[in-house]
Amino acid sequence: MRNSILLFLILIITFNACSSDNDIPIINAKITLNFTHHWDETPVTNEDFNSIKFTTKNGEQLSIERLRYVISNVLLTDAKNNIDTLSNYHLINIGENSGLSYESPKTVHPGIYDLTFIFGFKDADNVDSAYKDLNTANFNVPAMLGGGYHFMQFDGKYKDTNIQDSNFNYHAIRAVDRTDPNNLKFQDTSIAVDLGEVIIDNNASIEIKMNIAEWFKNPNTWDLNVLNTVLMPNFDAQKMMSENGEGVFSLGEITQN
């Protein structure tokens, strides 16, 4: 009887250590996130910067001189609501070619997951001066606007109604109402992004795509002749940016090694 129980336990341990299909031991997979950028269907890199070559839905021609943004709470969630955190936050700077690829220190069990993240920071995580690398990158929001951090800094030039080059600073932050400077009122304008289902079989590289044109497109057709600079203290402009950001990100190619 004792030998039978021992044999049963050995069989259970052996079964759990192997995949059901081919008896290959299951190992956790490394996850790499690759961030790519596009203007609709046209790929965009820093080699496209500083040249007026893009056209918004409203018809303004523009250049990109700086584009960097932060995402946070990058999560993989399985069907049983088990969560693996790939990154607490991550800064992408297209102009400097930094942060475009990120290998998470967290490995995950092969399976089917939902990939989600926050564009910017939720209020609870948007803590003033809390993140040293973002402080070093001068990504902070001034105290007069409530502190915390930018979600995105997107700068460039556009052709105004006089066909002259004019500056725009499309900076996304938490919306703040400064009607009473002594009693600031905030609205969380971070964006919850759900890229949908990803299947992890092995070490995987996942492409996250940003369509830059969408920032000017849906649901608010952006008029750079009206909304161009000093947008950070503009409560309504921040809400419009957040609304337009809903359709900016999408899931790209997934490759497994």
C-alpha span between 15 and 32 (Å, rounded): 29
Q: Please give the structure tokens belonging to residue 92.
A: 């992408």
Nearest to 174 by CA among 197, 148, 199: 148
Full pLDDT tens readout for the chain, 257 residues: 444 444 444 334 333 433 444 445 558 999 999 999 999 999 999 999 999 999 999 999 999 999 999 999 999 999 999 999 999 999 999 999 999 999 999 999 999 999 999 999 999 999 999 999 999 999 999 999 999 999 999 999 999 999 999 999 999 999 999 999 999 999 999 999 999 999 999 999 999 999 999 999 999 999 999 999 999 999 999 999 999 999 999 999 999 98
Residue type, 218: N
What is the phi/psi pair of residue 172, to 5°?
A: -100, 130
Verdict on whether the full-model pTM lies above 0.85? yes
